[in-house]
Amino acid sequence: MSARILVIEDNSANMELMCYLLHAYGHVVLSASDGLVGCRMARTETPDLIICDVHLPRLDGFGVVTELKRDLCTAMVPAIAVTAQAMVGDRDKLMEAGFDGYICKPIEPEIFVAQVDAYLPESLRSTLHRPGMDSPASAT
Ligand code: MN
């Protein structure tokens, strides 16, 4: 199976990499490059999971997750922060703000989709992961 995943990220290189990897592993990807558009898409598109950068134009990741978690339509959708702030204090702040988890930048292509899949119900996880086949190319 695959999931519909909303990626909210303003850095085009990071966005491209995440979308490429998620798509390569069979997920359907929706994208938004600022926090306000991201929140709106979360409500209208009802994705299965949301990946959100922290530093974003118009509304940052903290604002996005606050919005998502107080709206009944989106409160139950897992929201994962993607951040370079890997220190414990920052991690705690992200979780307190409402994120369900976080992934550290820089994105590690070999493990990124597995990191994301961990937050999805089993039925929506990528079926392309196989032991010893950890890249899209070798999974085909
Ligand atoms: Mn950013």
Between the CA of 31 and the centroid of ligand 1 the distance, in Å, is 13
Within-domain flag for 57: yes
Between the CA of 43 and the centroid of ligand 1 the distance, in Å, is 21
Between the CA of 84 and the centroid of ligand 1 the distance, in Å, is 10
- Residue 54 CA to residue 124 CA, distance in Å, equals 25
- Residue 64 CA to residue 118 CA, distance in Å, equals 21
Model-level pTM? 0.90
Domain of 98, in residue numbers:
4-122
Within-domain flag for 16: yes
Within-domain flag for 139: no
Within-domain flag for 17: yes
Rounded to the nearest 10°, the torsion over CA 8, 19, 89, 39 is 20
What total number of domains does the chain contain? 1
Confidence tier at 139 by pLDDT (50, 70, 90): very low
Within-domain flag for 117: yes
Q: For 66-86, how does the pLDDT look when each residue is reduced to its tens digit (9 = 90+)?
A: 999 999 999 999 999 999 866
Structure token digits, residue 63: 């604002």
Within-domain flag for 39: yes
Contacts (Cβ under 8 Å, ≥6 apart) of 76: none
